[in-house]
Structure 1
């Protein structure tokens, strides 16, 4: 089982934990670039969260939200991030776990704001009990969720203007990439999460990203009760013979075009023979934050190549 760095707590093995809808706008508090300076209330998945003053000691238990914090300019306010928060390189990584969070270990950093994407081990209630503001911003289920969570984090940290600029830039880059790519007329694809052939369907956030280009997902017909993350069989995939194969298990599992060609029967797949196997960065492909346009660009480039 590969390390989890995904949409929800277990997408790495093809099973997403679909939590509450992400935060939407907020009420009260100051507006503008220093929104948190005079106090602000943000509507997150765990309800209305009030940050009484601009936070100076932020802890992030989510790799995605760590990226967002630094992208909106709140990096200097971050004192600790989870063990899987490996980007940016200067993020203060610690032994804190986002998947087995320990409230006491978090409290030891004396945070005035904690940002999480999953409420595991009852961490949200445990921190709220000692009056530590917690923003629960779950895995995105649609593109608007991404921008909404960036707005929440920006306002909560006193960087509302920077957050808006970031979201606007992401929207523009994604629109530009999609506009530059011809619609994939009937092209099919397979997105691989791990070596056990777990994949995603069009219902998922990732599936919607692929849908921007009109690609058809070969996993859709195989999904039954897996919540959008089915495990496909080798026989099924060989029969489907997808036009494009996207690998999101290059780092965790050492997969690439060459390893695929060595799998029994895979060398005969059109995508393998024609060089249409796309080796994605695991982290970028599993996070819904500021680097999302890079994933969209990788997909767009692959579509253009096949057209």
Structure 2
């Protein structure tokens, strides 16, 4: 007789299947006769009517299993994380993760969040730090799961000695890895179905915003601070510009692919960006940028295409991403048409 797989293995297999389904951004539309048409999804894949039905059935089965069955095992940068039971006391030391946890229906399981987890308003913000995490302070909330974006001060090992699982949910490098991070949080908290819906809603929102981007490429310079650190295409925000069809003027300075190179004023002026984007929380304004010596002939300055975007949304992966994409698409659409991409 063939031995039955263990409960742990069954749960892990279901979780893996659900994770794969969460990352499949497939959808179908029906015409007036009720027949399903093949419809490309935002990621560029196409689902046939037959595969859509199969996927729907599989999603229900896998979603029910992974939502109800623990333990689950989630691979991560710090090693596999085994979560024995549905966590009911989550501590989040990542603003992005906090926002996602509430969006996928796990908000009532979060008992404490770090000092920068200011959204949504009902998030239990505390003075806990994600940059200088303190094991004793974290343990004081009696967590059964801790979510972090980086393993600072060997927090994973420190909490592991106390049998507290830690899920490292790093900042994504691009849109798809962001969806994968959401899926991990859904599996870890027992909210697979809600996460699948949130991922699809996010994909749809991003796709709708991308449609408003101009057809002609726009040279963009996304400035992080007044020391001229910028976001290149190797960063998450840079991947958004790539999806929008923009030409990122910081790429030439990022030979090592760090995502955040520091440019010189001469390099920025020479690249002649048509759109300059800064943070709305910067200690300077668009007017200050326009007044920089030597920048008056830069296209973005000359045409008044310097915009400030919401710092929280532009620096965090999360459900508000379509708002950022829409704001950038609108700003790019304001760039005068007909200007060449090269100087």
- Give the match for residue 179 of structure 2: 147
CA RMSD of aligned residues (A): 2.0
User: TM-score, normalization: structure 1?
Assistant: 0.85
Report the CA distance between 1:34 and its aligned residue. Answer: 8.0
Q: 1:192 aligns with which of 218, 223, 238?
A: 223
User: TM-score, normalization: structure 2?
Assistant: 0.76
- Give the match for residue 205 of structure 1: 236
Q: What is the total number of aligned residue pairs between the two structures?
A: 280
Asked if the contact 2:234–2:257 (Cα under 8 Å) also holds between the matched residues in 1, the reply is no
Range with greater deviation from structure 2 (175-184 or 96-105): 175-184
Q: 2:210 aligns with which of 172, 178, 183?
A: 178
Alignment of 1:233-248 (within 5 A): 233-248=264-279
- Give the match for residue 296 of structure 1: 325
SS at match of 1:180: coil
Tell me how far apart the structure 2 counterparts of residues 93 and 34 of structure 1 sit (CA, whole Å): 32
Structure 2 segments unaligned to the other structure (5+ residues): 1-10, 16-60, 338-343
Alignment of 1:16-165 (within 5 A): 27-28=13-14, 31-32=62-63, 35-39=66-70, 40-165=72-197
Asked if the contact 1:45–1:135 (Cα under 8 Å) also holds between the matched residues in 2, the reply is no
Asked if the contact 2:212–2:326 (Cα under 8 Å) also holds between the matched residues in 1, the reply is no
Summarize the Cα distance change of 1:49–1:226 in structure 2 as closer, same or farther, 3 Å threshold: closer
- Give the match for residue 261 of structure 1: 290
- Give the match for residue 270 of structure 1: 299
Report the CA distance between 1:231 and its aligned residue. Answer: 0.9
SS at match of 1:203: coil
1:283 correspondence with 2:315: no
- Give the match for residue 6 of structure 2: none
Asked if the contact 2:219–2:248 (Cα under 8 Å) also holds between the matched residues in 1, the reply is yes
Report the CA distance between 1:298 and its aligned residue. Answer: 1.2
Higher Cα Rg, which structure:
2
Tell me how far apart the structure 2 counterparts of residues 213 and 226 of structure 1 sit (CA, whole Å): 20
SS at match of 1:247: strand
Range with greater deviation from structure 2 (26-35 or 205-214): 26-35
Structure 1 segments unaligned to the other structure (5+ residues): 1-24
SS at match of 1:110: coil
Tell me how far apart the structure 2 counterparts of residues 283 and 33 of structure 1 sit (CA, whole Å): 34
- Give the match for residue 246 of structure 2: 215
SS at match of 1:172: helix
Asked if the contact 2:89–2:144 (Cα under 8 Å) also holds between the matched residues in 1, the reply is yes
